[in-house]
Structures are given as C-alpha cells and as structure tokens.
Structure 1
Amino acid sequence: MAARTMRAVQYAGYGGGAAALQHVEIQVPSPKKDEVLLRVEAASMNPADWKVQKGMMRPFLPSKFPFVPGEVVEVGPGVDGFKPGDKVVTWLGFALRYATTKFDGTGDPANVLITAASGGVGMFAVQLAKLGNLHVTATCGARNMELVRSLGADEVLDYKTPEGKSLKSPSGRKYDIVVHCTSSVGWSSLESNLAAHGKLVLLFAMATKEDLQFLVELVKGGKLRTVIDSRYALGKAEEAWAKSMEGHATGKIIVERDQVMDI
C-alpha cells in the first residue's frame, strides 16, 4: 500500500522571507504512543513564524509551534480522552491571567495599558482585561481606533501622535499593569508610566489545557470576539507570510487548508 502524502509549506534555512517558502508533498505521519494525528483546519500566521525564519528565536529552537485547530483522525497507543472526530485546538501562547482570575466583571479594579491593541494578541488582551474589570488604555493605528473601542477599551491612543508615543493615559492615571504586545516601544517609555508597584507583562507561550478550555468557553458564550484580518488558501501561503511581515494586520491572518486535502 502506497504511503499517504499531504501538501505542506516549509522552508529549509534561515532568511529569504516569503520567497523562501516551498510547497512540498510529505508523508502523512502515523501517531506514536501518546500522540494523536490531526487534520488541520486552518493556521494563524504569527510573527513568531517569520521571526524563526529570520533567526531571531534560535535560543528557543528546536521546537514545534502547533498553533492550529483541527479534527482528530487517528489516535496512537496510550491516548486517553481523545477519539477520531473530536474537534480540538492545540497549544498557543497565553499569558493574560496577569491581574486577576475573575473574568465576570467583579475583579479588583486596576489600570492597564495594552500596546498594539489591534493586533492578534492585543485584541484578546483588551477583551480579557475588560472581563477582569480593568480600566483599559490601548494603543493602535488611527484606522483601528474605533474597532479597539468596540472591543471595550476605555481610552485609545494613536501610536503615531505625540500623545500616543508618550503612552500617557488621557485620564492622567499611572498604569498598574502594562501588557506589551509590540517590540517597537522601548522600556524607557513604559517605565515612566508605571505605578510604583506596577507590573510589565511580556508575552510568552505557557498555555495549559485549562487555559484553552477557558478561552473556548468564552468564545462559545459570546464573551470573546475573534477579528480576522484576512484569509488565504494554502496555495497562497506566501501572500499571508508577506502580509504578516508587513506588521499592519488588524486581527489574525489565517491560512486555510484546501478542501481536497483530506487525509
């Protein structure tokens, strides 16, 4: 029996950007002990992807970055709790339980600054902060200010204006928490706006099963909104890659599998 194959997009070395992506046919893996095989429904194009390609994340490699939703098609020996047909979402970066564990509007009030609030992470940070009863000041580009307000931000700063560059809250409040979603703002600008015992939150990947289930329930309940910037077929992954590298996406950039790619 011939081995099953599937289409994939990959690159073989550092550098090259979108032009270095290669469309290949690879063998469909068989799940080993304690593994499951997923049929990927879609993948989000994240800055981490092209930063790996640029060599900016070498200290974290080798590693796998399975930011995907999909369906279980096979389970390996020893797997408990999953079966073919299950819809799942896999590990993703989640560092937003930074101030409170209450997301019902009854948490302790605090002032939070969220930078790059119209990006894929920032949009979720704004919504979770409001569910946690926080006063949110957010930064983004002028064209996305109304969108960020619609997600719940109390104050929105255009990052290109003098006020936005200073990061100062229009209310004059110092920030108890800064959730830093961009690398373009230096520490000196953040430090001067932090309260005496304020906290700076950097984003790292540290999700648990409980975290993911928590987010899924919020989405199901209509409490967490996902904003899609654009969608691309797998055959146009290079365009999605280039779009992400431009750094001006509003929400998530999605690459979807072709319907003929069933395994």
Structure 2
Amino acid sequence: MAEHLASIFGTEKDRVNCPFYFKIGACRHGDRCSRLHNRPTISPTLLLSNMYHRPDMITPGVDAQGNPIDPRKIQDHFEDFYEDIFEELNKFGEIESLNVCDNLADHMIGNVYVQFKEEDQAAAALQALQGRFYSGRPIIADFSPVTDFREATCRQYEENSCNRGGYCNFMHVKMIGRDLRRKLYGRYHGYKGSRSRSRSVSPGYRRDYDRRDRDDRDYRGSGRRSGDRHGRYDGDDGGRRRHGSPRPSRSPGREGSEERRARIEQWNRKREERE
C-alpha cells in the first residue's frame, strides 16, 4: 500500500495531495482546493505572485484605451521588467532560472519564478522582499515547491500548438531575447551562451507532456547602484550580503521530483504526529 501511494504521489490519481500545486506551485482553486497544498518551509525557488503586469493586460495586443500596441513595445516592456527583477534578485546569489508566466488565469497571471543555486540564497531573498513594493504594488513572495521546470512548463506552448491559450494550467513561460540572456546569465561561470526558456531544462530534452491531465523606474531606498537603468522597488535592503563577505555554505544537490515527494511525505507524517 505504501509503495502504491508513493507511486501516485503528486499525480491525478493522488486524492490527497494537489498535483497542480506540486508541479507548478499554484492551483486555480486556491485555499478552496479539496486536496492538500504542501507548502515548503525551504526551497531554492521563490514564487512572486502576479508581479508582472503587461501593458495589454486587459486585451492582448491592445492598451487600456483600446489602441493597438506594437508587439516590439510589449517585448521591450517585458525585457525591461525581466532585467530589473534579475538585477535585484541577483544580489542574493546566483540565479539558475527566472521564469515569467504569460498565462491569463487569475492564479498564474504575471507569476514570476526565480530559482537560486542555493536554498539559503532564496531564503535571504525572501526575507528581504517582505513588506516591499514594486511599481506601487506589494510584492507577494513565498517558497515554491517547483524545482524542475520540465514538469511545470507547457510543451505545446513551446511548440506554438497549445489550444488552451492563456488559460492553460501549465506554465506558458515568456521568452527574452538572446542578447539579454547572454548579458544577464553570461556573468556566471560555465554559461555556454545558448539556453532554453528555463535554464533548468536541458537543451533538446523535453518530457512527454501528452500523458498529463490538463484540467517609475527608480529605486526608492533600495540601495541600488548608480548607473542601473531600471527598477521600481520600495523598501529597505533587507540585510543583503555585502560584497566580499563569505558565501553561504552550499546546500545539498538539487532535488528532483522523487526527492521532493519524499520530503513532502515527511512533512505529512510530522503533521499527523502533531495532530
């Protein structure tokens, strides 16, 4: 029985744990979901909920006044946002991937997922983001269970063939240009200059998703360097690590799905013991 439960953990057959929260860190039912959302107490990945507001938020390709927007302006707006977020979060440690959802459903629209190389870097970033604002809106940040974006992203969207559009339940990750990717990620040792949308997805590798069941630009008090172009953060530095201070100790190797399932099962057992 235990082996059977372990084999179906985080899948549609699991009637206890929510498979969508496990895979994408968000669920359309929210707190009303009939299945458990096992929120991690530590993770290398942070979710910044509903953070990116595109200029054609109401109607794709059209501004709030009903006027068409040049697609290049929409992309420029997004890349300004992406660079701004990357430069701010990079102060806490090496970023392995930064993914922004292009979905339209309420629980996914504008979601930003940042995966750090180390869990303690993510923890430091989370602490510093508490109580801060971006472009006049509060930043809602929390640890995310997503550590493998191969299971979270929509393969059909990457192939321009998703028939669910913006209301797909898997991530439609918005892509940045090659030059910006090289500029941001090229600072890291080992960068090879060619990356897929998510740096955690190996080039050429795609999981078979067909089996799935789919149901202002100024810092104010943020300690920003002079010369940086973008940013709309409010709040203090949050105790960032100073240049030249020792790097935090490395966390264990990156967890895959099996390790994450084992950790969540352990959380469930501890919860049952407390009850």
TM-score by length of 2: 0.25
Which structure carries more strand by proportion? 1
